[in-house]
Chains A and B, each alone.
Chain A
């Protein structure tokens, strides 16, 4: 079977086998405030903690529950990873598609995921997820993951 020639990622049309992740460098370039957006996804308890200023500026070593890999996460993301993502109201049918995908990616340590995996996590169809994310507009830094 012949293999297709690889296109530059900004021109390649993603297929159902493409995997998506949160590109945090996009947030830095975009000028948008990542922390404000992350705060929108906190559970009630951690919103209160944030409002009270109980947030450490230090990063936390987060241990991936599947691989054991350690990544250093800012406090907001750590709260999402370790607590908020485990609450039942974290992703519901009222959560928008983009927010739902973002929350699922954060909850899994930003491990690149296919539309099918994101569909399982968000309850949305893989086709709709692929259509939404494969357009020219990049939503909340969610884009196709490329190696290297």
Chain B
């Protein structure tokens, strides 16, 4: 038997299109099973459906009265169905005697098929496969690929074509990667939603899985569990009181009004309005410093693989806001989602095991929930933090570089006369830190006021950098400041990645390069 079309790559890769009868078939499956299905599950069902369709068409053709059989007798004008030629119908146009001693006496009939003349055997007395009625246990079943094997080979193409078609179906809804007819969903009314709100309220806002809400509501027991879940998900999604906060592949619900405000709206402290600069001004040394700092707004080289842990330097903006940046490096360490803008997860203190509720705020590009932890462990600006993946993607471990407390001279910032001033003070430090980035802040609110003043006056970055530099050089006998320290100082009053700051140092006449990564004010000015 010639190869079935559904056994060929051409069928699935080049000529496959989802048609309405396929959608109708999938609708029936969804109705029968009363279970939302993923696009891959439906693609496999479709593959089986098409294979069965082709087999049934073949069998029907072979068993039809007009099916061509070499043993039959034909006359000119007779119609026959050629099962080995796509079940096409052909008409006999001529007859002649066959010439093959091995076959005995037989006839050769001529038929017209797609503008071609073909000859076939008739009145054939010897055995021929087409004279047999096929059964389901034919040997071909051993040679052909199973629907599952075809799905493994070509399922990607089928799923992609099906996804496009499903997106066009108005009556189908998709939630968390599963599809179901809207008209067949369980009816979720305002009463159900109010009960859901009450359940979440009792759970301090959440997060709760849908099946837990269904169980506690207790009024959907007549429905199939998966359908009840899907229907409630659909209802909750359309009600603004509820926020879907689960990581990819999981649905979790939270009451929006009980979410921390800084999760719904990014903290003002983190807001960065991009500052134009020429990246070509940065020397290779400055580019290396930029990578070392790892600011989330810096261009980073492509990351390969998923590391088990990432170490970062904490800058003032995130220390102040109690957040972590979703930089290129760190993004891979935290749970993500296909669509949910906010994801609720658990941070675990790597030393004590203390668990902290935390949030990934994807639109704002930060992780929220560390204010108390930073304060508890007195993590300084410039302190080292390490984030670790665990076996459970919804739990992330965090540690700081703790050590035995020592009294050390630490750069300290304070606000005076609308300026930030620096001095070295002896402080007890119980964690490791980057000496070039560390800054202790006496009164964060007062520092914030200086920043606000700069914003209101739209003070250019060049001036802010000069002001900060002028105060920092006072701490240096050589009258120079490291570029990293300047970046750390500028970020006390203006959120800015290292790129624009370093470009300002290189490009502005107000600064002089003092060698390596060190800079001084032009003319050696130490400051008034």
- Report the Cα distance A65→B106, complex, angstroms: 15
**Residue B262 CB within 8 A of the other chain:** no
**Residue A98 CB within 8 A of the other chain:** no
Q: Please, what's the 1-or-0 string for A65-77, where 1 marks a CB less than 8 Å from any CB in chain B?
A: 1111111000000
**Residue A34 CB within 8 A of the other chain:** no
**Is the beta-carbon distance between A70 and B121 smaller than 8 angstroms?**
yes
Partner of B124, one of A16, A63, A111: A63
Partner of B128, one of A3, A16, A68: A68
- Report the Cα distance A122→B476, complex, angstroms: 82
**Is the beta-carbon distance between B70 and A17 smaller than 8 angstroms?**
no
**Is the beta-carbon distance between A66 and B1 smaller than 8 angstroms?**
yes
What B residues does A78 contact at CB under 8 A?
A: 100
Q: Please, what's the 1-or-0 string for B1-43, where 1 marks a CB less than 8 Å from any CB in chain A?
A: 1110000111001100000000000000000000000000000
**Is the beta-carbon distance between A67 and B124 smaller than 8 angstroms?**
no
What B residues does A62 contact at CB under 8 A?
A: 100
What A residues does B375 contact at CB under 8 A?
A: none
Partner of A61, one of B82, B98, B157: B98
Q: Please, what's the 1-or-0 string for B103-147, where 1 marks a CB less than 8 Å from any CB in chain A?
A: 100101000000000111100100011100000000000000000
What A residues does B102 contact at CB under 8 A?
A: 82
- Report the Cα distance A69→B108, complex, angstroms: 9
Q: Whole-angstrom distance from the CB of A58 to the nearest CB of chain B?
A: 7
**Is the beta-carbon distance between B10 and A17 smaller than 8 angstroms?**
yes
**Is the beta-carbon distance between B8 and A63 smaller than 8 angstroms?**
no
Find the B residue at minimum CB distance from A73: B100
Interface size classification for chain B: 20 to 34
**Residue B434 CB within 8 A of the other chain:** no
What A residues does B85 contact at CB under 8 A?
A: 67
**Is the beta-carbon distance between A70 and B9 smaller than 8 angstroms?**
no
What B residues does A63 contact at CB under 8 A?
A: 70, 98, 100, 103, 106, 121, 124, 128
**Is the beta-carbon distance between B70 and A68 smaller than 8 angstroms?**
yes
What B residues does A67 contact at CB under 8 A?
A: 2, 82, 84-85, 120, 130
Q: Whole-angstrom distance from the CB of A21 to the nearest CB of chain B?
A: 14
Contact residues of A between 6 and 56, Cβ < 8 Å to B: 16-17
**Residue B68 CB within 8 A of the other chain:** yes
- Report the Cα distance A58→B98, complex, angstroms: 13
- Report the Cα distance A39→B492, complex, angstroms: 92
**Is the beta-carbon distance between B119 and A71 smaller than 8 angstroms?**
yes
Interface size classification for chain A: 20 to 34
Q: Whole-angstrom distance from the CB of B218 to the nearest CB of chain A?
A: 48
**Residue A5 CB within 8 A of the other chain:** no
Given contacts A60-B99, A62-B100, A63-B70, contact A68 B9 (CB under 8 A): no
**Is the beta-carbon distance between A17 and B8 smaller than 8 angstroms?**
yes
Partner of B129, one of A60, A61, A66, A71: A66
- Report the Cα distance A60→B69, complex, angstroms: 21
- Report the Cα distance A116→B103, complex, angstroms: 32
**Is the beta-carbon distance between A70 and B129 smaller than 8 angstroms?**
no
**Is the beta-carbon distance between A61 and B99 smaller than 8 angstroms?**
yes
For A66, A69, A111, A117, the residue with the greatest tally of chain B CB atoms inside 10 Å of its CB is A69
What A residues does B161 contact at CB under 8 A?
A: 1
- Report the Cα distance A69→B100, complex, angstroms: 14
**Is the beta-carbon distance between A65 and B128 smaller than 8 angstroms?**
yes
Find the B residue at minimum CB distance from A116: B9
Q: Whole-angstrom distance from the CB of A74 to the nearest CB of chain B?
A: 13
**Is the beta-carbon distance between B120 and A17 smaller than 8 angstroms?**
no
Q: Whole-angstrom distance from the CB of A119 to the nearest CB of chain B?
A: 14
Q: Please, what's the 1-or-0 string for B487-500, where 1 marks a CB less than 8 Å from any CB in chain A?
A: 00000000000000
**Is the beta-carbon distance between B14 and A68 smaller than 8 angstroms?**
no
**Is the beta-carbon distance between A68 and B108 smaller than 8 angstroms?**
no
Find the A residue at minimum CB distance from B157: A1
Q: Whole-angstrom distance from the CB of B284 to the nearest CB of chain A?
A: 44
Find the A residue at minimum CB distance from B84: A67
Q: Whole-angstrom distance from the CB of B331 to the nearest CB of chain A?
A: 32
Find the B residue at minimum CB distance from A68: B70
What A residues does B99 contact at CB under 8 A?
A: 58-61
The 5 closest A-B pairs by CB, nearest first: A70-B119, A67-B84, A68-B70, A63-B121, A61-B100
Q: Which chain B residues have a beta carbon within 8 Å of chain A's beta carbons?
A: 1-3, 8-10, 13-14, 68-70, 82, 84-85, 98-100, 102-103, 106, 108, 118-121, 124, 128-130, 157, 161
Q: Could you list some 10 contacts between A and B, CB below 8 A?
A: A1-B13, A61-B98, A62-B100, A63-B103, A63-B128, A67-B84, A70-B98, A70-B120, A82-B102, A111-B2
| Extra pairs beyond A63-B121, A70-B120 (12, CB < 8 Å) | A17-B9, A17-B10, A60-B99, A61-B108, A63-B103, A63-B106, A63-B128, A67-B84, A68-B68, A68-B84, A68-B124, A69-B118
